[in-house]
Amino acid sequence: MKFNLLSRTNTQTVNHAGAKAFVMSSEMELYTAVVTWSLNDSFYEKNDVRMERLRTLIHTCNPVFVGKLAVYARTKMYLRSVPLVLATELAKLHSGDDLVARVTAGVVNRADEITELLACYQLLNKRTGTKKLNRLSKQLQKGLQAAFNRFDEYQFAKYNRDGAIKLRDALFLVHPKAKDTAQQQLFDKIVNGTLQTPYTWETELSALGQVGFDSEKHKAEAFKAKWEELIDSGKLGYMALLRNLRNIQEAGVSYAHFQKVCARLADADEVAKAKQFPFRYLAAYRELINPVTKVPVQSLVKKLTALVQGNNTGYTGELLDALEKAVQASAANIKGFGYETRVLLACDVSGSMQMPVSAKSKILLYDVGLMLAMLLQSRCKNVEVGMFGDRWKTITVPRNNILGNVQEFYRREGEVGYATNGHLVINDILARKVKMDKVFLFTDCQLWNSAGVGYHINSLWAQYKSNVAPNAKLYLFDLKGYGQAPLQLMQNDVYLVAGWSDKVFEVLDALENGSSAMETINGIVI
């Protein structure tokens, strides 16, 4: 299956900022919308509008591509919500073969995604009242039957939550066939509510919280002992560990247990298996230094000093070092470029980039751009980095200090203002006749010229290619997926990569080897 990426890229439009932009092909627009998905309003687009655009795009694309994209988003980009939307919409428009069943089985990677998918199906099909989940798609049902056969008692019990659709409801609706006697007994436990309570940090701490203690001191000692037990058990998941560093620290666990925590955080194999978004490490890092607002570097030392006077917070430095090692391990497999390859990384810190990636997150879009840029910078040899808003400014930072570099950019973003003048990046290297081999813009692609005069980035890039660096390539890392590109893609060596995971660098590597994002997705087996 091949897709014509240039089918609509010659069509001119305007972006949300009112500047000239170019329309993407339906497949490319769907790809960028999916891999930058978040269920909260964005700067330019309300969530219900974004959802409707997504559903429209799904209906205009080849069903096989939609299915492959759903599995790609779940298994390669580690997204959870939007693959379920794709599977649900695919079930509404496609029939005649087992594509929907294979896609459904491919996007359900955790036991709770069985009920999440059914809830999504109910919502998007507007099933309410007595209708609810009757007339479930047969192929979606078949895919969920396959999913039921993949999980054990621990996995079912861990995610057997009290939601609108319970695991027991799903079992009755889907009617999976047990593959053996042991699995039939497991299904009976789901029906009877007799699944064994799993040993997790949530269940253990919740049970401890129900105990009546005769003093706060005894309570504190009990929680310290419980955290130490959880650390020793090896059953504290990597993500749970990452999210609870502050709680573990405040519990006052022993230094030996801190060493275990740090060793596990920094372990390259653990990092690879955990499949965390890169900005999760940044969130944990900030939670430790506790910057409620942007923290000037001179205040950072004071905050860390205050922390070490608290309960067992003298080990904060070791935790920060462990997080740095962890994020460096996450970047280890990113393919950088040779010593002679000149690379320019430009980060958009405009107002539209200062939106949280999700409703509950403290991480902003420009944090994601900064994080991806610093990951790539750590793998490149001959590299310059900077940020743009009203102005464009290069900033010198060390290569092997990823999280610290993000914080450095974070505290200085106000120095360039909050417009989206990405054209200044190209204008600068054009005016100075600096020959770059590869230029990367980490942005939401809503670029414009706030001065109202001068050249558009598209024409500036054409001039740069013609007069300075004929072999240069420009990569747009689209972090929001609004559906327009500021340059004509696949012309004049302009490429688009989208998403938040470090897996976007696999797409970059494919582009470097003459492939495309579409071919990467097309290679997914379902």
Q: Express each pLDDT in 21-52 by its tens digit.
A: 556 688 888 888 888 776 443 333 456 777 88
The pLDDT, as a whole number, for residue 488 is: 59
* Predicted TM-score of the model (pTM): 0.79
CA atoms within 13 A on the CB side of 214: 0
Q: Is the pLDDT of residue 315 over 50?
A: yes
Burial 293-309 (b: 16+ CB within 10 A, else e): eebeeeeeeeebeebee
Q: Which of 232-236, 257-261, 427-431 has the lowest mean pLDDT?
A: 232-236
**How wide is the angle at C-alpha 385 spanned by C-alphas 262 and 38, nearest 5°?**
65
The pLDDT, as a whole number, for residue 12 is: 64
Q: How far apart are CA 172 and CA 305, in angstroms?
A: 57
The pLDDT, as a whole number, for residue 406 is: 92
Q: Please write the tens of the pLDDT for every residue from 185-214.
A: 999 999 999 999 999 988 998 889 888 887
Q: 342-522 has which CATH code?
A: 3.40.50.410
Q: Which of 36-45, 115-124, 171-180, 287-296 has the lowest mean pLDDT?
A: 36-45
Q: How confident is the model at residue 295 (pLDDT cuts 50, 70, 90)?
A: very low
Contact (CB, 8 A) for 51 and 29 = no
Q: Is the pLDDT of residue 449 over 90?
A: no
Q: How far apart are CA 269 and CA 267, in angstroms?
A: 6
Q: Is the pLDDT of residue 8 over 50?
A: no
Q: How far apart are CA 191 and CA 173, in angstroms?
A: 12
Q: How confident is the model at residue 439 (pLDDT cuts 50, 70, 90)?
A: very high
The overall average pLDDT reported for the chain is 84
Instruction: Supply the DSSP string of 378-396, one letter for each residue.
Output: TT-SEEEEEEESSSEEE--
Backbone angles phi, psi at 193, to 5 degrees: 70, 35
In the chain, the N- to C-terminal Cα span, in Å, equals 14
More confident residue, 478 or 516: 478
Most confident region among 198-202, 268-272, 295-299, 450-454 by mean pLDDT: 268-272
The pLDDT, as a whole number, for residue 313 is: 66
The pLDDT, as a whole number, for residue 513 is: 78
More confident residue, 499 or 274: 274
- Residue ranges per domain, the chain? 25-192, 214-331, 342-522
Name every residue whose Cβ is closer than 8 Å to that of residue 36 and which is 6 or more positions away in sequence: 478, 479, 480, 481, 498, 499, 500
